[in-house]
Structure 1
């Protein structure tokens, strides 16, 4: 089969296991409340079923354009105590980007604003793993690649709700909720683009009564 031209061939970043220990920490953080419930950890082990949130056509020119200013295109986290509302907004932030106006570092800095400040529950590595590395970001910028996202729905997985029903008081230690969000991402680049593609993700969201919700991390597998 003949190869497509480089201009139209999409490249997906490979998301390796950045930190097994940090992944285990995320599992423990989200499901510390659920340890007495058999089977609830299954959906937070292994790799994500969602496709990576970026695709990058190979640049049509060898040199990338100059790095854009340090302004981040990542929106500000919503001020809410509702984990589902927060998770839906976080999914849009993760699936949307604009390499034309945002540097790789500025994008990372913008996403860090969504994270919990409680180190015991924060797993930045799982969020960082959703981002292309700096070299790939540069190639995406050379093609003026950008993406928008729309959320269809968000819900707490059934296993999480069942565990909560069996032990309602367990949540009061960490106040970390598992929330699954589904939606679509549309990617465009100079001279082309891709149609809306389905996306799904399970997030750990911390919502203590006295503070607004924050992101703890991303589960490596989508929970139904």
Structure 2
């Protein structure tokens, strides 16, 4: 039986608020939700995995570092994909989710992983929540254990969409987003994890991201929302 992600429905969140306040809470202050919700696990293993007899799957999401500082500039990015130069928020969110669900401890150190992820972030500090992103990476000890098992993961993306609450708030007042141009996008896909001696498994994944896409600029990641919206 697969693990299920916690679900937070925004369809009734903020009922009775003005349109401006609703769009601000959904699009511009995602960090308010992040402060009160459990971060979605990034590197969780599936209970339906097939594993070698003498190796159990690791559980990398058990010790995330939620206060991670920026990685060392010289760390490099290892196998982490470079951010695409696109201006469509859904397309960028899909690419970002694939990046977040993919890793390779065989050739990428933890600092390299963080450095590669940092390159996807917006440089506007007022809207960037780096802690929500870096918090997906296990602590150094757990990353080392994963590397000992040659653990790596790939991801495939099924779809991405604007949650209904975000679309409703945007329809109420389209001009409200023009302050920060932060869009909320939910992405669904599948993560496949592999480790030594034929161990591996797959599970469906979903994540809600805050993506900044200013006019005439490439998109950038602002934050990971705490759970999945519809």
CA displacement at 1:47 relative to structure 2: 2.6
Aligned residue-pair number: 184
CA displacement at 1:36 relative to structure 2: 4.2
Distance 1:44 1:223 in 2: 12
Q: 1:138 to 1:49 in 2, by over 3 A?
A: closer
Q: CA RMSD in A?
A: 2.8
Q: Which residue of 2 aligns with 1:52?
A: 42
TM-score (norm 1): 0.74
Q: Which residue of 1 aligns with 2:139?
A: 133
Q: Which residue of 1 aligns with 2:159?
A: 153
CA displacement at 1:197 relative to structure 2: 0.2
> Which of residues 170, 184, 203 is equivalent to 1:197?
203
Contact 2:186/2:228 (<8 A) preserved = yes
Q: Which residue of 1 aligns with 2:21?
A: 35
Name the SS for the 1:196 alignment partner: strand
Distance 1:124 1:219 in 2: 12
Which aligned pairs between 1:3-152 and structure 2 lie closer than 5 A? 34-36=20-22, 44=33, 46-48=36-38, 50-55=40-45, 57=57, 71-152=77-158
Name the SS for the 2:167 alignment partner: helix
Distance 2:82 2:24 in 1: 37
Q: Is there any run of 5+ residues in structure 1 with no aligned partner, and where? A: 1-32, 59-68
CA displacement at 1:135 relative to structure 2: 0.9
TM-score (norm 2): 0.73
Q: Which residue of 2 aligns with 1:216?
A: 222
CA displacement at 1:223 relative to structure 2: 1.1
Cα shift readout 1:24-53 (whole Å, capped 9, x = no counterpart) = xxxxxxxxx851469968994543584433
Name the SS for the 1:192 alignment partner: coil
CA displacement at 1:78 relative to structure 2: 0.8
Q: 1:48 to 1:202 in 2, by over 3 A?
A: farther
CA displacement at 1:103 relative to structure 2: 0.5
Q: 1:37 to 1:121 in 2, by over 3 A?
A: closer
CA displacement at 1:208 relative to structure 2: 0.2
Q: 1:37 to 1:123 in 2, by over 3 A?
A: closer
Distance 1:195 1:220 in 2: 24
Cα shift readout 1:171-224 (whole Å, capped 9, x = no counterpart) = 100000000001010000011333220110000000000210000010112111
